[in-house]
Amino acid sequence: MIASNYRPKPAQLTLLLLVLALGACGTTPPSNFYLLEPMSQNDTRPIPVKQHSMMHIGIGPIQFPGYLDRTQMVTRSDSTQLNLSETHRWAEPLQNNFARILAENLSLLLNTDKVTLHPSRNWPDINYQILIDVWQLDADRQGNATLVANWSIRTDKGTSLLFMKKSEFTTAIKPAASYTEIATALSKTIEMLSHEIAEVISKLGKRQIVN
């Protein structure tokens, strides 16, 4: 029989606390990580360009709103309320992922391997600089994945404005969409933006356009 005044030894107490801590960790739901995806090469053909196919495109700087500067995936309950998921996260900073996917899409659409992300030592060699200010990139409870961005195309090391526009793209998803479906739908909105930018670049040539 164990005496009522029994006290565990320090080593036994430490082991007990460790076991309890490990047990508590085991009840925490695992995190799932997601990436935006580029458009498939099988889904499109390069856009005819009025210049040679080796034009050099510079992408950036790209600005993102503060509410997206986090690893948690953000969904929208309404116009003012946001939901942050602790178990569904972006695998890399969303701004970096966005820039890389846009670069891959434009490389495919414009049939050029010379696409450079800002900042870069090759920056002085670019023919067109694409600047983007993303205002919104999320999905809502009503079943919409939305990208809103103000973007411009410049040349002469960013000093000459050729084109400027605010664009909004929405992809319909089911209201109870999974986070995988949300990531896919957001990727689709970036594909739409990529098409719009590529179409403008294909028409620019040496003309100066301000819209």
Q: Please state the domain count of the chain.
A: 1
- Give the residue numbers spanning the domain of 197: 49-204
19 found inside a domain: no
114-168 confidence digits (pLDDT tens): 999 998 887 778 889 999 999 999 999 888 999 999 999 998 777 899 999 999 9
112 found inside a domain: yes
State the distance between the two ends of the chain, measured CA to CA, in whole angstroms: 89
Q: What is the CATH number of the domain that holds 145?
A: 3.40.50.10610
12 found inside a domain: no
40 found inside a domain: no
87-98 confidence digits (pLDDT tens): 999 999 999 999
Whole-number Cα distances in Å, 124 to 60, 67, 111, 116, 154:
13, 32, 21, 11, 13
1 found inside a domain: no
37 found inside a domain: no
25 found inside a domain: no
Helix (H) and strand (E) counts in the chain: 3, 8
Q: What is the pTM of this model?
A: 0.81
163 found inside a domain: yes
